[in-house]
Chains A and B, each alone.
Chain A
Amino acid sequence: MSVIDVQKDLAALTLTVTSRFEAAPPRVWQVWSDPRQLERWWGPPSHPATVVEYELTPGGTVTYYMTAPDGQRFHGWWRVRSVGAPSGLEFEDGFADDEGKPNPDLPTTIVRVTLDADEAAGGAATVMRIVTTFGDEAAMKQVLDMGVAEGMSEALGQIDALLAA
């Protein structure tokens, strides 16, 4: 099992998925930095991804489409925010129209990837953390400004208790 932890935080609007691989960070980095490798895992087997543009530099754009079994294409894009090979990257992930142009009316998510060598394994393993944040940058900034990372407010604890009931 590669996934070791999944955290859902309604307050911070984030999903954090932590996983571990038996490979050093430079190797794990390649699955992100090589578009041919990226194509092999980004889409589910039923909707394989094809990368069209690939510019993994700050401000750069990655465009791709996923092909459904009936041949229909779903276009998506990344806007690269930062790249720190081989330890991480951050990008905005959004939908595009049928011609691959970003659709500003559809929601985007911010994806932050960090790759850390597992020192206990002599650096031969990697812990990969993917933090996905819903909402646009302004909403996220607002959330960070509020310092919700301090922990869930009493109100949210209450909401979670209600949902669990």
Chain B
Amino acid sequence: MVVDRESGDRADRIFAALSDATRREIVAMTLTAEYSVSELARRFPVSFAAVQKHVAVLERAGLVIKRRSGREQRVRGNADALREAHRLLDQLADVWRGRVERIGALLAEPEPEPEPGLDLDLDPGGA
């Protein structure tokens, strides 16, 4: 992979955070409006503590931003982080586009001689 390590690590957190249905819904809801953790907890059939945990995972991934308002914790979605996830997938797509192009060029060359003693090629290849 040519995607650099730091962004790959960030991607891992983003994608892991998005791998849960409740967390995805929290992100979608908080992208359009700010909610308190208790408001979110009322909308999901899970405990307050569970929602709090989900929000913490999302916050670590940078997908939501939390702020304190009085006694409440308000949560809103971070669209930039989602754009980042899209961008990382785009980057990975570019890596594969390059590889596919090079495979195409390689296949356009005359057939290479099979290497003697190389037993990995399970098919004789060619015709």
- A27 with B1: CB separation less than 8 A: no
Q: Are A107 and B96 in contact (CB under 8 A)?
A: no
- Report A96 CB to chain B, min CB distance, Å: 11
- Chain B stretch 106-122: residues in CB contact (< 8 A) with chain A: 106-108, 111-112, 115, 118, 120-122
Tell whether A72 is near chain B: CB-to-CB under 8 Å. no
Q: Is the CB of B122 within 8 A of A163?
A: no
The one of B31, B79, B86, B120 in contact with A10, judged by C-beta atoms closer than 8 angstroms, is B86
Known A6-B93, A17-B93: A11·B99 in contact at CB below 8 Å: no
CB distance from B64 to the nearest CB of A (A): 12
Asked whether, in the complex, the Cβ of A13 is within 8 Å of the Cβ of B18, the reply is yes
B120 touches A34 (CB 8 A): yes
Tell whether, in the assembled complex, residue B2 and residue A162 are in contact, meaning their CB atoms are under 8 Å apart: no
Instruction: Identify whether the interface residues of A are mostly helix, strand, loop, or mixed.
Output: mixed
Contact of A8 among B20, B27, B86, B115 (CB under 8 A): B86
Nearest-Cβ distance from residue A137 to partner chain B, whole angstroms: 12
Alpha-carbon distance between A29 and B126 when the two chains are bound, in angstroms: 11
A contact residues around B5 at 8 Å (CB): 95, 106
A26/B126 contact (C-beta < 8 A), A155-B25, A156-B24 known: yes
